[in-house]
Structure formats: structure tokens, C-alpha cells
Amino acid sequence: MTDVMEQSGGPIRPKAEQPGANGSEPAVSASPAVQNAGPAEPPTGTEEPAASARILQIRERINEIDHALIALWQERAGLSQEVGATRMASGGTRLVLSREREVLERFRVALGADGTQLALLLLRAGRGPL
């Protein structure tokens, strides 16, 4: 098994292999200064203050975009479900494959192969699994 390295440089070990997990080695507790330090800044992968500040600023915008994407995803899924229910209530089919192909193609052209995968997830969210 290959060890994964933490950003601090040490290997990440399964819980059972960590010191103090099985009683073979005493667990080391954090010093009182570390325990009372308050909430730590999220790790940025750099110690350089200006770069770290910029990364945190970018992450704030990413979080805003994520929230918008989630809200749009949920809205789209609800609208798609409403279309399907309306179609079926009027005697129509559960799916319109030509419409699904249109959506898949739009996303593929705009985003490539990842776009196709995203479109498949969007379609599934609106209609459920096939």
C-alpha cells in the first residue's frame, strides 16, 4: 500500500495504525496553547501570506458559485419533473429522447466529454434513472 502524505509531510495512516489507537502507544494530546487557539484558518497549501489571502478570496467566490449551481440544479430538476408530469398527465410519453439528445449535444459542444457527463446527471435529476 502506498502512503499518502499529509501537507505536513508525514504519512496519513489508517485510524488503527495511529499512535494510541490500540493502546500500544500513548496518544499525544495537543498542548493547551493549541487547544485554545480557536478556529484555525482553512489550509491553503502555502505559507506565503499574500498567496494564502488570495486563495481564500478565490475560494469565497467558488463557494458563491457552488451555492448558485446547487440552487439552479434544484430549480432545473423541479421544472423538468413538472414537464414530465404534465406530459404524462396529458397522455404523452415519460421521455422525449430527441429532447434529451438536444440537451446532451448542447453540453457536449460547450464543455466536451465532461459536459456530456454533466448533462446526463442533469437529465437524471429531472426524470429519475432510466
What letter represents residue 96's amino acid?
V
Grid cell listed for 21? 489507537
pLDDT tens, the chain, 130 aa long: 444 444 444 444 444 444 444 554 455 554 454 455 556 667 999 999 999 999 999 999 999 999 999 999 999 999 999 999 999 999 999 999 999 999 999 999 999 999 999 999 999 999 988 8
Write down the pTM of the prediction.
0.65
Q: Where are the domains of the chain?
A: 49-130
DSSP string, 41-101: PPP-S---HHHHHHHHHHHHHHHHHHHHHHHHHHHHHHHHHHHHHHHHHTT--S--HHHHH
Q: Does domain 49-130 have CATH number 3.30.70.980?
A: no
Amino acid, res. 38: G
